[in-house]
Amino acid sequence: MPDKIDHLLEDVETFPPSAEFVAASPVPADLYERAEADRLGFWADQARELHWHTPFTETLDWSGAPIARWFGDGELNVAYNCVDRHVAAGNGDRIAIHWEGEPGDTRTITYADLLGEVKRAANMLESLGVTAGDVVAIYLPMIPETVIAMLACARIGAVHSVIFGGFSADSIRQRVEDASAKLVITSDGSIRKGKVLALKNTVDEALSKGAASVKHVLVVKRADNEVALQKGRDLWWHDEIAQVSDEHVAKPFPSEHPLFILYTSGTTGKPKGLLHTSGGYLTQTAYTHRVAFDLRPEEDVFWCSADVGWVTGHSYLVYGPLANGATQVMYEGTPDTPDLGRWFKIIQDYKVTIFYTAPTAIRSYMKAGRQIPAKYDLSSLRVLGSVGEPINPEAWLWYREVIGGGRTPIVDTWWQTETGAHMIAPIPSQVALKPGAAQRPIPGIVVEVVDDDGNRVDPGQMGLLTICEPWPSMARGIYGDPERFADTYWSRFPGVYFAGDGAGVDRDGELWLLGRVDDVMNVSGHRLSTTEIESSLVDHEFVAEAAVVGAKDETTGQAVVAFVVLKRSKSEEAAAVDTPQVLRRHVADDIGAFARPREVYLVDELPKTRSGKIMRRLLRDAADGKQIGDTATLTDASVMATIQAGMTSGA
Ligand code: 6R9
């Protein structure tokens, strides 16, 4: 990564909000000033937008840092806030979810419908012996039952652990065991590109290898796929839910009651289960969903294209929008089924006003061409959001012009699984937007870009992004491993949160996010750990050693590229098959298809320093087709030349 970024000192074209946009905005004009004048009072005001069964008197308790307590003596019910209170306020007829299945089937769910479903599901979970504090693993496709299951857990104080539907059996087992989940909720199948993925079979495989804590598996019927039910353990969702009462009273839980665990990749091989709690998380997801997207809940149709299995789906498909009583779209399938116009057809059909997606998707559409969106009426759109990775200025401008008709603000939102909600994002009614930059911390958040010694960097310099003050939706630790939380995020600069991202400050003092500075890769906005993929490769019987790097990729941002040294004893077996292909498939089976390396290169040796550290920097240069950097510290400088020669000859 460069330590100086010249363009940050140059003029860039900015896009101020139109006078009409400012005039119509529901976001208070003095938000930045209010947060600046009294940060904690400002957050307390945001929290009071929620319904508290017992109002809080204490805003922040940081005495147990880095585990915060926000609104600690208050009590609330997260599901009540997301559903019941909108019905109680007379908005039961408002559509909560326009759901569209990949084959084209649809369901329209009002807040009153959702309330009925969540109450029944809560009763069903209780009838299966799930109580407050129990962990429920959810391995489901993008169907309404996924949202219902999450809210039902929240309603009874159970802790959900949603596992993205692309994960393998081993990844499921690992997560279920780590959290001792009592119940797994899955479906007979998931429909992707017209094909059925047998999710239940994957769960069966996961549970056959361990995960003894699981008492029951609840199976939602979605794909009419034949599944085997294990007697005494497996139950159909529709059978169980038919037997319970329609009435369920939402009980209050303390603000710091755990809400969910979500696993994400870090720099080590083992995924971390980030723990989020109730009051602070809901406060910040609801607040940011309102201000970053300029939300008008009565009129807007919001659509976040993320899968519920990632944090973006948790915060901006479930909790933020529903806490705000918004109407939203939920789509089950892939963007290219039956053709690349599908997303635009959905925007047209439901008159989506706010659309939130990842730069990877935008770049794929840029590649496919503007004639695809041009076939659809996208004039309902008024705000567009971006998340997951840095958005390059070209993609930003294309998004605004081609999807947004040259009229919509583009809100680039930087945040992480660990932060729970948006941290850096311009408020579109109040900031002149800069293509490619997330620009400013949201009101209430304090950040600083620092050098290696923790000193604030000058404009034009590259540094490390830190967050200086605690915030309501911050993770409350890594499940079962408090020390790892402190070590990973709070030890580099004592008392300050280190995000793992590089950032630069421009001459206006605004922020540009520049990607990870550690061994975490970002492929299509999915976080992957180099170590995790290396461990998977080394698990294969052919492999002696492996090094994985995130190479530049025009569409997906980064791509996984692996360099592998084979065991001598296996060379004959390896020569008899297409080994790179075998290893790519192995990683896909082991972790999930989204982790499959783009390329696997077989090499004789990996470049190492004299102390034995693999020089991934050099491999990254090679994978990017760049001139190889300084090789002075290598034990044998010819290693890189041999590797590069092998790559061009297509080894
Ligand atoms: C929400 C989410 C977090 C990592 C983060 C950073 C990258 C996310 C970004 C961005 C630049 C943005 N990231 N949003 N980088 N600009 N607007 O993606 O969470 O999956 O935990 O990933 O994603 O590198 O550290 P998560």
Look up tokens 């590649």; give the residue: 367
549 and 597 in contact (C-beta within 8 Å)? no
pLDDT higher than 60, residue 9: yes
* Cβ of residue 312 lying under 6 Å from some atom of ligand 1: yes
* Cβ of residue 360 lying under 6 Å from some atom of ligand 1: no
Confidence of residue 284 (pLDDT cuts 50, 70, 90): very high
Shortest-distance Cα residue to atom 7 of ligand 1: 389
**Residues 245-250: what's their mean pLDDT?**
98
pLDDT higher than 90, residue 613: no
Nearest atom (ligand 1) to Cα of 500: 25
- 392-443 confidence digits (pLDDT tens): 999 999 999 999 999 999 999 999 999 999 999 999 999 999 999 999 999 9
Supply the pLDDT for residue 612: 76
393 prior amide bond cis, ω within 30: no
The fraction of the chain above a pLDDT of 90, given in percent, is 85
548 CB-near residues (< 8 Å, 6+ apart): 521, 530, 531, 533, 534, 537, 560, 561, 562, 563, 597, 616
Q: Is the model's pTM score more than 0.90?
A: yes
264 and 313 in contact (C-beta within 8 Å)? no
Average model confidence (pLDDT) across the chain:
94
* Spatial distance between the Cα atoms of 581 and 450, rounded to a whole number of angstroms: 42
Distance of CA 250 to the CA centre of its chain: 28
* Cβ of residue 501 lying under 6 Å from some atom of ligand 1: yes
* Spatial distance between the Cα atoms of 117 and 220, rounded to a whole number of angstroms: 14
pLDDT higher than 60, residue 651: no
* Cβ of residue 156 lying under 6 Å from some atom of ligand 1: no
Which domains, and CATH codes, for the chain?
19-50+59-503 (3.40.50.12780), 524-650 (3.30.300.30)
**Which amino acid is present at 140?**
L
Supply the pLDDT for residue 4: 54
478 Cα: distance to centroid of ligand 1 (angstroms): 18
404 and 381 in contact (C-beta within 8 Å)? yes
* Spatial distance between the Cα atoms of 356 and 370, rounded to a whole number of angstroms: 19
**Residues 339-362: what's their mean pLDDT?**
97
What is the per-residue DSSP string for 127-187?
A: HTT--TT-EEEEE--SSHHHHHHHHHHHHHT-EEEE--TTB-HHHHHHHHHHHT-SEEEEE
- 132-171 confidence digits (pLDDT tens): 999 999 999 999 999 999 999 999 999 999 999 999 999 9
225 Cα: distance to centroid of ligand 1 (angstroms): 36
* Spatial distance between the Cα atoms of 538 and 553, rounded to a whole number of angstroms: 25
Shortest-distance Cα residue to atom 8 of ligand 1: 388
Q: Tokens standing for 157?
A: 């104080």
- 431-450 confidence digits (pLDDT tens): 999 999 999 999 999 999 99
Provide the angle, in degrees to the nearest 10, between the axes of the packed helices 638-648 and 616-623: 30
Find the distance separating the first CA and the last CA of the chain, reported in whole Å.
28
Q: Tokens standing for 524?
A: 């299509």
Confidence of residue 617 (pLDDT cuts 50, 70, 90): confident
